[in-house]
Amino acid sequence: MSVPRRRTLILASLAAAGVAMAAAAQAPAPVPDGPDPLTGARGRLGRDWVGRASVKADTPILVMAGHADSQGIPGSGTSGDAVDRRGARPMQAGIRDELFWNLEVARRVVKLGQERGLNISFYDPPPRTIHDGDDPRTNWSVGKAHAAAGGYALEIHFDAYGPDGIGSGVIPAFHRPFTSIDESLAVAFGGYPWQFRGGLGGPRRGITILEIGKLEAPLEPALRNPRSRERALQTITERVVAALEAGVGRQQKPPGAPLAVQVPRSAHSPVGLAPGDQ
């Protein structure tokens, strides 16, 4: 083979490698095989975005509990497999089980985040039922204003059980470029397509949604059973906060999967899913 011909082939190979590397850099991180030992299956739809916009370490992060302002009206969240299918009473009278766990996780994330030095706060709407989504007291309104002012707004959710649910993952806000916080949360929990269901109300207003997991086994029994609840909540909280820290550059890499939480056998029986368990 002549020298010019060899040089041409080498240059072509390098160019092809460069294209492949560029394509890989634009692709979302691969989803780990198999369900997570605590949060269950990741969103099966996959994601079509990568969070690249850097976020300052002191960026104000606002955390909210999904459905905190929509109880008793359409959009109140899931009751969970235990209540709807297995006859358990709600964790708290007057609210859906999803909101109960959304509040638990959101409050814990803010508390731990503040202890670790994050600029993080919690918003809880005064009334539990607000009919107008654009009322200034709703999650949507407060989150929209926070994001418009340059902050990062995050709403915590648990997904529906059974075939209606998709699984854990991030649905990013799309009023701005996808950020490093979006990316680190997606590495930790998985990701949804950015225009999921045509664009949800929260993301359209600048609010990122984090689905922790489907409110069914293995996640729901671990939460409902008193002997595994604290460990499960601590594991979820640590995972969210570690992802936020990674997203603002306070860790070198996003967190991996959490440790498995051992759920007592009684958690899978009607007794283990008894009301309250608090």
Q: What is the pLDDT of residues 251-263, one digit of tens each?
A: 655 454 444 444 4
Q: Identify the helix (H) or strand (E) that includes residue 157.
A: strand 152-159
pLDDT attached to residue 278 = 34
Is the confidence at residue 123, as pLDDT, over 90? yes
Question: Which CATH class, in words, describes the domain spanning 38-268?
Answer: alpha beta
52-101 confidence digits (pLDDT tens):
999 999 999 999 999 999 999 999 999 999 999 999 999 999 999 999 99
153 touches 106 (CB < 8 A): no
pLDDT attached to residue 64 = 98
Q: Mean pLDDT in the chain?
A: 84
pLDDT attached to residue 104 = 98
Backbone angles phi, psi at 109, to 5 degrees: -60, -45
Q: Which one-letter amino acid corresponds to residue 7?
A: R
Distance, in Å, from the CA atom of 125 to the CA atom of 139, rounded to the nearest integer, reads 7
Q: What is the CA radius of gyration of the chain?
A: 21
The domains of the chain are located at 38-268
Q: Binning pLDDT at 50, 70 and 90, where does residue 32 land?
A: low
Is the confidence at residue 8, as pLDDT, over 70? no
- 32 or 21, greater pLDDT: 32
Is the confidence at residue 16, as pLDDT, over 70? no
Q: What is the DSSP string of 217-228?
A: TTHHHHHHSHHH
Distance, in Å, from the CA atom of 108 to the CA atom of 151, rounded to the nearest integer, reads 20
In 5-102, at which residue ranges do the beta strands (DSSP E only) sit? 61-65
Instruction: Give the closest residue to 276 by CA, choosing from 233, 230, 237, 225.
Output: 225
- pTM of structure: 0.81
